[in-house]
Chain A
Amino acid sequence: DVKVTQSSRYLVKRTGEKVFLECVQDMDHENMFWYRQDPGLGLRLIYFSYDVKMKEKGDIPEGYSVSREKKERFSLILESASTNQTSMYLCASGTDYGYTFGSGTRLTVV
């Protein structure tokens, strides 16, 4: 089974802090994705990557950046965390035929 591992399950950060969310997959997938999930809004795509060092903006990239230095690792960066970035963050890895999601990181910005 594909395994997608997110480094933290819960995080609490202060406004203005730089925050790194890490995601690692073990199935050699080229495509990796970062979503945030909020009640009533569903999953919204922040950024995705289809190859090492390649990245594309999703639907809500503002306030975020990403890094893909190695195929198995895709990092989401909040340059200066704000309270409206409090959310569940989900990383996914996959192909045209489906994704595998990580267990999620619940980030609270205070």
Chain B
Amino acid sequence: GQNIDQPTEMTATEGAIVQINCTYQTSGFNGLFWYQQHAGEAPTFLSYNVLDGLEEKGRFSSFLSRSKGYSYLLLKELQMKDSASYLCAVRDRETDSWGKFQFGAGTQVVVTP
């Protein structure tokens, strides 16, 4: 199984940068995902990392270090619409054939004017 830890809440100002950390413990890591969830809505896919390093996608970047069991999601040039919960999810090799992921509790990001 996995243990996934991420901060409960972070607050940042519009235009700033925020880094959301995620640490995990798994018996057989096979991919890490970040999802964004606005209040009352379904989670939507943001990024997928399976190899070490940084993946950049516009204002959002995701980093993975498998040896440290660590990932972060970097949100740049924050906008008010980025206020949402950000979910870290890990796929375990033991259940890889079924695509089953384990989710963290989510980090609520509050963007202030």
Interface residues of A (CB under 8 A from B): 4, 31, 33, 35, 40-45, 48, 50, 56, 58, 90, 94-104
Contacts and interface: CB of A to CB of B under 8 A. Distances in A.
B87 interface: yes
B103 A100 contact: no
The dominant DSSP class at the A interface is: strand
A99 B104 CA distance: 15
A90 B42 contact: yes
Interface of B: 8, 31, 33, 40-45, 48, 87, 91, 96-106
Nearest to B98: A50
B104 A42 contact: yes
A33 B95 CA distance: 13
B24 to A, nearest CB: 13
